[in-house]
Amino acid sequence: MLDAQCTAPRCFGPAVNGLLWRKALPGEKHQNQQLDTTPILSILKFRLKPEIDMRDESGSPRKIWDSTLKYIRFIPRFLAVEWGTILHHHPTSIFCLIHWDSTASWYKFQYSSGIHPVMMVLDSYVSNRCAKLEPSCPVPLPGFDKAIVVDVISVIALTEYTLSPEDLSAFEERWKTLVAAITNSHHGLQHSTRPVEELCTSLHVLSSTVSRKAVQLVAQSVHPQNHHTAPPQQEHHSLESILKVGLPRQCTPDLANLKQLVHETLRNSREDARRRTRLFPAPSQSSTPMHTKGHLYEGNAYYAPNRLFGNPPTPINNHNSVDIAPRIYSHLKEQLSVLQGFVQMFWARDAEKPRNIAIFTVWENVQAREAASRNYRRILSDFVASSIYLIGPLKHQTFLRPPSNRSYPFPDRKGPYLEFISYYVPRGAVQRQVFEHAYATITNMTNPHVQEAISTACIVWTGHELWEPDVVSDVGPSSSPNQLFTGIICWRSPEARKEWYQELYRLACFSYELFGYKVDALGIIAAGGIESRFVEMQPEPVR
């Protein structure tokens, strides 16, 4: 293919209106009405972060990219897309061609989120150019259905040089002659370096520069162009339920006014919160300065720095009218508090399944927990063997407390409501980095100081320490293919949590460009699954 440019290539980054794309000037698309029926080829190039491999179909980056392409396919009047990796580029670079049936459809792409969802795996800005095609150009582009490697040749004239119509016509004729000489030779359409190099050499005319890239195309599955309708509106009380249903990757009809529409929707939502017609206004603690955006504020509660939580939720089957949960907690605390390294213990009741309780043990550090691990598990095993109230095995989970001048969210009175969301992310440093980016993006939606946030009655506790440490216990190292991240959210009430998730789902369906893809990406990266647990902290039992 030939990408003829009269100006130097431009790179457009996320600093422009929060999206990766340059916006057309007002009235620009109406300067020539004939352009509305001219097919356009979008030419995208971007470099990936080191160790990102888009050829791995099972990897999170590739799944996010596939999800992004699905969204692009539903932009009205999309025709075809081809993409591949640029050979001999380190780190890996991606080259992508998108065929639009008209200038109007290309403008819709420019106003859409484009490939913004994959920004977390990019190492640089995106080169976003386009080329006009002949109206009779077939779809898909000829030869791509059989091609494995494609040579992309760009002829770029210097900025001070203007191509006249005569020069451009003469250049195009020369190009066709040279290409015909190659394709009609004994080399056929096979990838051959020498004739392509000769072609590039002969194109150094008109004060231009010529660049050549060999692109290894990636085979794509066939996606029928049917209408992707939104799933029926349902009640969703947790992020887990939203991700199980999935979100429609629809293109917003009025992309030109997308931000205005979303801001108006958010403004109405916040006004409803201020009028108390919804249950999730900003929490009272939100007026307290936060040194780290998104960290949990717990007032003057006790704080123990650099310590470790162990969290075994215990299912209880209560056969009596007497609540034996406080008795179980007191018994375990008496047994575990004598262990070396023990600091403190709390307990909570499952807000949705009251017979389930969770007990939180605070250790001085990872080493103290490892040293006490054998005795810790022995005490719990003896308790399970002798108890007639348990109907299921104990579940253990461990995470580090973030070092902070804030206390952890366990006050000594009844409340608050805490939600623990466990994200199972495939092992690997890249997967962890990509997940943290996606998690920070979705967390910002709860920050009242962010323009595109939803009014909330929750505060999110964040930190790299919320990854489960690779602790070697008495049962040996973990053989799980996933690494565990535990998100902690403090809610005002169960009703506020329920309504906030319903609002998140509504906005995600309303605009995939600004809300939906953030939730979508989080579910894709946490490929091992997501589990949520909603509990109400309980006071210390009265002896």
Q: Residues 529-542: pLDDT tens digits?
A: 999 999 998 888 87
pLDDT band at 421 (very low <50, low <70, confident <90, very high): very high
**Given this model, what pLDDT does residue 278 score?**
60
Contacts of 299 (CB under 8 A, 6+ apart): 285, 407, 411
Residue with tokens 């990266």: 525
Confirm if 517 and 71 have CB atoms less than 8 A apart: yes
Pick the residue with more confidence: 304 or 392? 392
What mean pLDDT comes out for the span 22-28? 39
The yes-or-no verdict on residue 423 having pLDDT over 90 is yes
Pick the residue with more confidence: 67 or 5? 67
Confirm if 258 and 111 have CB atoms less than 8 A apart: yes
Element (H or E) spanning 376, and its range?
helix 366-386
Confirm if 46 and 39 have CB atoms less than 8 A apart: no
Domain 306-400 is of which CATH architecture? 2-Layer Sandwich (3.30)
What mean pLDDT comes out for the span 12-41? 46
**Given this model, what pLDDT does residue 75 score?**
92
Q: What are 386's two structure tokens?
A: 């002798």
Pick the residue with more confidence: 267 or 309? 267
Which DSSP category does 22 fall into?
Answer: P
The CATH number of 2-217 is: 3.30.70.100
Domain ranges of the chain: 2-217, 231-300+401-543, 306-400
Q: What are 35's two structure tokens?
A: 């352009």
CA dihedral defined by 298, 304, 305, 311, rounded to 10 degrees? -80
**Given this model, what pLDDT does residue 81 score?**
92
Q: Residues 132-148: pLDDT tens digits?
A: 777 766 666 666 666 68
Q: Residues 182-226: pLDDT tens digits?
A: 666 544 444 456 666 766 676 665 556 777 788 888 876 555 444
User: Rounded to two decimals, what is the model's pTM?
Assistant: 0.77
Q: What are 167's two structure tokens?
A: 């020069």
Q: Residues 230-256: pLDDT tens digits?
A: 555 667 888 999 988 878 888 888 888
Which DSSP category does 24 fall into?
Answer: P
329/140 Cα distance (integer angstroms)? 66
Q: Residues 344-398: pLDDT tens digits?
A: 898 999 988 888 888 888 888 888 888 998 999 899 888 888 877 777 677 777 7
Q: What are 394's two structure tokens?
A: 């104990």
Strands (E) located in 87-148: 93-100, 126-132
323/355 Cα distance (integer angstroms)? 9
Q: Residues 318-339: pLDDT tens digits?
A: 444 457 888 889 999 999 999 9
456/449 Cα distance (integer angstroms)? 11
483/467 Cα distance (integer angstroms)? 7
2-217 shares its CATH topology with 306-400? yes
Pick the residue with more confidence: 8 or 469? 469
Nearest Cα neighbor of 155 from 2, 20, 324, 317 is 2
What mean pLDDT comes out for the span 482-510? 88
The yes-or-no verdict on residue 24 having pLDDT over 70 is no
